[in-house]
Chains A and B, each alone.
Chain A
Amino acid sequence: MAIKTYLQAISDGLREEMRRDERVFVIGEDVGVYGGAFKVTQGFQAEFGPWRVLDAPLAETAIVGACTGASLMGLRPVAEMQFADFISCAWDHLVTVAAKQHYRTGAALPFVVRCPSGGGFSGGPFHSQNPESSFAHIPGLKLVCPATPEDAKGLLVEAIRDPNPVLYFEHKHLYRRIKGEVPDTDYTTPFGKARVHRAGSDLTIVTWGAMVYTADEAATAVASKDGTSAEVIDLRTIIPWDREAVLASVARTGKLLVLHEDTRTAGFGAEIAATVGEESFEYLDAPVVRVAAPDTPVPFSPPLEKAFIPQVDDVVQAIERLAAY
């Protein structure tokens, strides 16, 4: 065990899997000589050579299309979108080809697309988005959103070994801000198993990615204020998602708050709220509350961006409303 940043954990997971499995290779814009825009693959080209760490042309469809072809031929590609926002350029390929190929033909496509996502540092409308929900509607793609360094490594290794296309959303705001214990061993973190980030009994907060920490801070604030005990569940993966863990927690607490950094309408929180409404109506003591970004593009200027991304105060207020219901 060692204390590592979230970014270092991603880098370690990828490097260790490349050492273990020579089929794994990295492709993306500026991932080679430069080591990636965020330095996740720093030093990789020196260790693995230019044909396992490929600087691709600025062409997201060529990159993801190459992953489809190379994975069909038995390799384990890991692509990097320089920013998750740029995955829109590869949307057609992911949705049209990659997501449907196994259903249509039985051919597995074991590849990963790493997507540095999220806001909080004035990245503006094109360097701050959280596009996971828009892919959640596409059968055939797995979606991973780690919150902790340990999960960042374990979920990445799991993603590389998974026989399906996996979109791995790594939150940029966690890269160097979050540190934690990371095992040095070869381990994986299974998909579809939520993590209780903070145990509680009065209400359940379901969230993922950077919002896990926002939820935790809000839970700490209300606990010290009036003793309200909020449980924080970190979903870890959006597809598949751990329905059982959410339903079991709601069955205990009777109240649900869904929190995400992506915009509100048709965000994945809506799916969680609908599922709880369908499956756990009898357990609910209050209407489900959603806290999410408003339905706007991600703005650039700091006061606007702060108003866009759910803040600790927003969550505190939502918890108080829900607790008082």
Chain B
Amino acid sequence: MAIAREAAPVGSLAEARGGGLDRIDLVELYRLMLVTRGIEERGHMLFRQGKIPGSFYTGRGNEAAAVGVGFAMGIDDIGAPTQRDMGVHVARGTEPWRIFAQYMGRVDGPTAGRDGNVHMAELRLGLIAMVSHLPAMVPVATGCALAFRIRGEARVALGWSGDGSTSRSDWHEALNFAGVRRLPVVFIVDNNQFAYSTPNHLEFATKHIADRAAGYGFEGVVVDGTDVLAVHREARAAIEKARAGDGPTLLELVTLRGEGHAVHDDAFYVPRGLHDAWAPSDPLERYRAWLKANLDGFGDDEDARLREEVKALLVDALRRAEQSPLPDPATLGDGVWASPEDLDTPHHR
């Protein structure tokens, strides 16, 4: 039995405009998705070339979900995205060359080589770096929301997790606490149907993950995570509801993970035909088709120009990242401890 509301798709341009998106915004969403996919496609190539140590993860198929939410956040809002949410970093303004530097373990990555992959974030952009133990950052988002509530600030926190990590106790603790205190937080679940190889039906017994929100006393919404406009509309509504003091929302963004868990995984366990069935829902293809059909003047020319711009941006970013040095082993011990000067930031004053 489904309890959560199932969000309708966004159809017409008028609907999109009604959601506060003008032409510049609508094109920007597309550009951000192009940048997101472009970063990860180039990252994949870099990995194959042996330029990225460790492993490599992408959020292919999750671009609309990540960009749609990231774009809906207010400037002073804060979020802790997962490894499928490169689009959030891009939408918040993390510079692509620093992301490539992060991938390659260079000093100009946001973690300066201390951590890899999408384990990064810039607090000044309103983002908190994830850890591998999903959903460990969901209680952190709840804590950010608690701080906003204590200080009476009109800010909202967003906590991301995947479908698998909703099985964990810390996810429950965070949602329960947020519900009890009606905190200004929005919980985003990127449900890409597989936790590594484990399918949804072995992770949860409800029809939707969002159904569980009822158990915490707030609304759950299931959204097609490949529809960037629907994601944006629902994220914006949930964020503004939280900002108005009306408590948390759980948004389940349903997609299909476009690749394996990481590069080493060919995802043989995904049932035959599922990728084919989801192919028409590729978030970028889908949105491009929508723009061409609905947005006045958006045609092949503008599309080609945008793609060239993004390509140039990423080529330049990669060149710059490769010039960034590797960390000096002598700095290994630096930063284990925060110093009083670390509290001399806008956040702490």
Binding site for B on A (CB under 8 A): 25, 51-52, 54, 56-57, 59, 61-62, 64-75, 77, 92-93, 96-97, 100-110, 139-140, 163-164
Contact = CB atoms under 8 A, between A and B. Distances in A.
A139 B111 CA distance: 17
A61 B169 contact: yes
A56 B183 CA distance: 13
Interface stretch (B43-51, B126-134, B198-206, B257-265): B126-134
A170 to B, nearest CB: 23
Contacts of A54: 146
B337 A66 contact: no
A75 B150 contact: yes
B147 A62 contact: no
Nearest to B170: A61
Contact of A92 (B110, B120, B133, B345): B133
Contacts of B148: 73
A269 to B, nearest CB: 23
Interface in B104-124: 110-111, 114-115, 119-121, 123
B128 A62 contact: no
A104 B119 contact: yes
28 contacts: A54-B146, A59-B173, A61-B139, A62-B170, A62-B173, A62-B176, A65-B138, A65-B140, A66-B139, A66-B143, A66-B146, A67-B143, A68-B140, A68-B143, A69-B141, A69-B145, A74-B347, A96-B133, A97-B131, A102-B342, A105-B110, A105-B115, A106-B335, A107-B123, A108-B345, A109-B338, A139-B336, A140-B336
B177 A57 contact: yes
A66 B343 contact: no
B312 interface: no
A59 B115 contact: no
Contacts of A140: 336-337
Contacts of A102: 335-338, 342
B176 A110 contact: no
A65 B143 contact: yes
Nearest to A52: B150
B337 A72 contact: no
A128 B145 CA distance: 34
A73 B143 CA distance: 9
A93 B337 contact: no
A65 B337 CA distance: 19
A74 B142 CA distance: 14
A25 B348 contact: no
A93 B171 CA distance: 12
A92 B343 contact: no
Nearest to B127: A105
B343 A70 contact: no
Interface of B: 78, 110-111, 114-115, 119-121, 123, 128-129, 131-133, 136-151, 157, 169-170, 173-174, 176-177, 180, 335-340, 342-343, 345, 347-349
Contacts of B78: 73
Contacts of A62: 139, 142, 170, 173-174, 176-177
B77 to A, nearest CB: 11
A1 B139 CA distance: 41
B142 A106 contact: no
Contact of A69 (B139, B335, B342, B349): B139
A61 B339 CA distance: 25
A108 B338 contact: yes
A285 B266 CA distance: 63
A93 B136 contact: yes
A84 B137 CA distance: 23
Given A102-B337, A108-B342, A140-B337, A70 B146 contact: yes
Contacts of B150: 25, 51-52, 70, 75
Given A72-B123, A73-B148, A105-B123, A65 B336 contact: no
B143 A164 contact: no
A52 B150 CA distance: 7
A65 B159 CA distance: 12
A66 B177 CA distance: 9
Contacts of B339: 163
Contacts of A104: 111, 114-115, 119, 129
A57 B337 CA distance: 30
A77 B348 CA distance: 12
Contacts of A100: 131
A22 B57 CA distance: 42
Given A101-B129, A108-B348, A139-B336, 7 more contacts: A59-B177, A62-B139, A65-B170, A67-B143, A75-B151, A77-B143, A105-B111
Q: Which 7 A-B residue pairings sit nearest by Cβ, starting from the closest?
A: A69-B143, A65-B139, A66-B143, A108-B338, A73-B147, A62-B173, A163-B338
Interface centre among A59, A68, A105 (most CB of B within 10 A): A105
A59 B131 contact: no
B180 to A, nearest CB: 6
Contacts of B146: 54, 66, 69-70
A56 B115 CA distance: 33
Contact of B144 (A51, A56, A69): A69
A102 B149 CA distance: 25
B169 to A, nearest CB: 7
